[in-house]
Every structure is written in C-alpha cells, then in structure tokens.
C-alpha cells in the first residue's frame, strides 16, 4: 500500500472513502440530504462508534427516540448500540460527515502517538 | 458514559474533540491555518493512520518530501510512518479536519457492522 492516498469528493448524496483511500482504521462518508429528506431507515451498530460532523445546513438526529438538533459546526459521538436516524430540516438541507471507528480501539493519540 | 455526546466547534485555529465528546475510537480535530501559515513542525505517528479532509480554502501537504496540493473537497489518508507537514496557500487560508485512528483497527463497517 502506498504511504498516502488522495481523492476528491464532489457534491452528491453520499461518498464513501474506505475503498477510495484504502483506509484501515475507519470508514468515512460525506453525506447530503435535501430539505425535508431523511435517511430512510433506523440503524445501530455491532462494534462501531460513529462520529458525525455537520458541515453545512441544519437538521436533526433521533437517537434512541430523543430528538437532537444539528447545525453547521456541531459534532456528535454516538455509541454503537444507539438506534439512530438522520433528518434534514424542513426548509434547509444538511451536509455531514460520518466517521465509523471500532469503539475502544484508540490506544494513544496526538502527543502520545507522535514522532517529532 | 452517555449513549451520545454533542459539542459545537466555533471558528478558531484548532478544536480537539476526543475529550469534548468522550471518543474511544478516534481523535478528531478541526484546524484552520491563515494564508501563508503552516503547522510549525514535521511529525509522524507510532500507531495511528491519519485521514485529512479539506473543508475550505487551499494549501498543500509535504508527505515524505513530496508536495501534495489540497483544496476544499479533497481527502487524504496518511500512513503512520509518513513524515508530514501542512501548509496554507500563500494567498488563501485552509480549514481541515484531521482524524486519527489506530491503523488496522477497523474490522467491519457499514452493512457488515449494521443492525437494522
């Protein structure tokens, strides 16, 4: 595997980066929902923590039945077992990234993992 | 630990989400460099793969001595041992996220990890 890989994500409903970049520690997707739309299903995960970052627009998530409002600049962590569904606002679309990682897999980071 | 956590990232040079969200599988940072600026050091990692996503602006990375141009919408994977440094363009700032994950830690994802 090459030491690095690069791809470019254009506007669109969903781009998945795992295969495009040869990721080994995460799946990352870039997602867009138009105003009034939602992901058409509720889901949870077996192993993976999900981290969502809102890049633009507004909407909300329903997490185990609780409505959580989301707008650009918001980030959320969702534990694997949480039942989740994502919605754009009625009058505004939403663009967000979703990062899937194995819960508990990070052993060290930043200064603790760096070689300077 | 609560089933989910939420935070909001304002404009600024760097926001780190690991502690803010109680992440267990990644560190995620949101970074901004003004035009002409750079991260002031070269670094590599012991365990962690890094995934960078360019949210706005333009710049470049130097990866093991190779210059890689970056603009909004670009994503790169960088293997742990790669010596890396990030720069904003001379005439334009850059805003990017950096995701740190343990290389090789993802066992399954998306449909393979989902509970529907």
**Residue in B1, B25, B82 to test binding to A, most A beta-carbons within 10 Å:** B25
What digits encode the pLDDT tens for the residues B68-93? Answer: 999 999 999 999 999 999 999 999 99
Chain B residues 26-65 with a CB less than 8 Å from chain A: 26-28, 30, 41-49, 51, 53, 55, 63-64
Asked if pLDDT for residue B4 goes beyond 90, the answer is: yes
Instruction: Please state the length of chain A.
Output: 116
The reply to whether CATH 3.40.1280.10 applies to domain B17-106 is no
Looking at chain B, the number of H-run helices and the number of E-run strands are 1, 10
Confidence (pLDDT) at B14:
97
Confidence (pLDDT) at B1:
56
What digits encode the pLDDT tens for the residues A9-66? Answer: 999 999 999 999 999 999 999 999 999 999 999 999 999 999 999 999 999 999 999 9
Residue A99 phi/psi, 5° resolution? -110, 120
The reply to whether CATH 2.60.40.1930 applies to domain A26-104 is no
Provide the 8-state DSSP code for B10. Answer: P
Question: pTM here?
Answer: 0.97
Residues B23-29 have a mean pLDDT of 98
Domain ranges of chain A: 26-104
Query: Which whole-number Å values give the CA distances from A95 to A15, A51, A80, B80, in the listed order?
Result: 12, 14, 22, 29
Chain B residues 65-94 with a CB less than 8 Å from chain A: 68, 73-79, 81-82
């Amino acid at each position: 595997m090459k030491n690095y890989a690069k791809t470019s994500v254009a506007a669109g409903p969903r781009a998945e980066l795992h295969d495009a970049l040869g990721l080994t520690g995460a799946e990352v997707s870039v997602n867009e929902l138009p105003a009034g739309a939602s992901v058409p299903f509720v889901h949870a995960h077996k192993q993976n923590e999900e981290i969502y970052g809102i890049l633009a627009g507004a909407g909300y998530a329903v997490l185990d039945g609780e409505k959580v409002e989301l707008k650009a600049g918001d980030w959320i962590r969702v534990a694997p077992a949480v039942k989740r569904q994502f919605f754009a606002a009625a009058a505004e679309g939403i663009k967000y990234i979703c990062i899937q990682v194995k819960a508990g897999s990070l052993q060290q980071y930043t200064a603790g993992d760096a070689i300077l």
